[in-house]
Amino acid sequence: MRRIRLGVNVDHVATLRQARGTTYPDPVLAAGLCEMAGADQVTVHLREDRRHIQERDVRILRQTVQTVLNLELAANEDVLSIACDVKPDLATLVPERRQELTTEGGLAVVGRETEVSDVVARLKAAGIRVSLFVNPDVEAVEASARCGAQQVEIHTGFYAEARGAEQALELKRIRLAASAGARLGMSVAAGHGLDYVNSRAVCAIHQVEELNIGHAIMGRAFFVGMQEAVREMIALMSEEEVRHRAR
């Protein structure tokens, strides 16, 4: 039976810690709680400006995560060298701007295949599986395959922010991009802006194998606890899987 995997992004636990410069709350502890609740993957983004996750977190998580450690990173030398040393199970290349509150869009791959291919090859040579976080565009997915990526993560932020007919169009873009990724032999993930409501339609896309969700689960955890927030999301995803198969 097919089940979409859930990757939980624990960056915002570190955001709260860094706001006061304390040693708590610890994203390493949060990751363990997520795994105990059934999460299939722990995702963290080591940014160049270290606004939340720190190098220390990544190194300890590499030792403690029992499922899959997914390290999101931009293609800059500082973080790349750490990734090649730490060797997460999966490295997801994302765009990054210091001024942004959160990732604003997918990685620019089209027209930059040579540059991106070099980074992908370097990570793969270190024994790391590579994913590219791209906009829901077939052309971007095809370029990702040419770069040697083993996975694409479809950016769902535009869909999450849209409403009505516009949201339906964005969902169609995600569906077409996911189909292209599967056709090209890549694993297909989706993430950004997904919550306990809008993730339902994405779960119904057969080619999507994994969702990466952070903000919504962390926000829910404030009220019900980390493990219950993760369990609720897994239950929702499983429910949508059953409904999809019944169609």
What is the enclosing helix (H) or strand (E) of 185?
none
The predicted-structure confidence for 7-66, as pLDDT tens digits, reads as follows 999 999 999 999 999 999 999 999 999 999 999 999 999 999 999 999 999 999 999 999
Looking at residue 213, its pLDDT comes to 98
What was the pLDDT predicted at 247? 57
Instruction: Please state, in angstroms and rounded to a whole number, the distance separating the CA atoms of residues 10 and 31.
Output: 7
Q: Which of 12, 45, 52, 155 is catalytic?
A: 45
Query: 128: domain CATH number?
Result: 3.20.20.70
Report pLDDT digits (tens) over 141-196: 999 999 999 999 999 999 999 999 999 999 999 999 999 999 999 999 999 999 99
Active-site residue identified among 12, 52, 155, 192: 192
Task: Tell me the residue range of the domain where 124 lies.
Answer: 5-246
pTM reported for the whole predicted model: 0.94
Tell whether the model's pLDDT for residue 245 goes beyond 70: no
Written as six digits, the tokens of 149 are 């990526």
pLDDT reading at 82 higher than 90: yes
Length of the chain: 247
Average pLDDT, integer, range 85-109: 81
Query: Which pair of tokens denotes residue 3?
Result: 């089940």
Let me know if 228 is a catalytic residue: no
What is d(CA 69, CA 61) in angstroms, rounded to the nearest whole number? Answer: 8
| Domain total in the chain | 1
Neighbours of 168 (CB within 10 A): 12
Closest CA to 109 of 95, 126, 97, 92: 95
232 catalytic? Reply is: no
pLDDT of residue 3: 81
Q: Is position 77 annotated as part of the catalytic site?
A: no
- DSSP-H helix ranges across 133-197: 138-146, 157-161, 164-183
Return the pLDDT at 246.
Answer: 55
Strand pairing class (129-134; 90-93): parallel
Q: Which of 62, 133, 129, 54 is nearest to 93 (CA)?
A: 133
Residue 120 tokens read as 């992908």
CA distance 19 to 17: 5
Annotated catalytic residue within 12, 35, 52, 72: 72
Angle between helices 27-36 and 55-64 (to 10 degrees): 30
pLDDT at position 85 is 98
Mean residue pLDDT of the chain comes to 94
SS3 212: strand
pLDDT greater than 90 at residue 100: no
pLDDT one-digit tens code per residue, 205-224 = 999 999 999 999 999 999 99
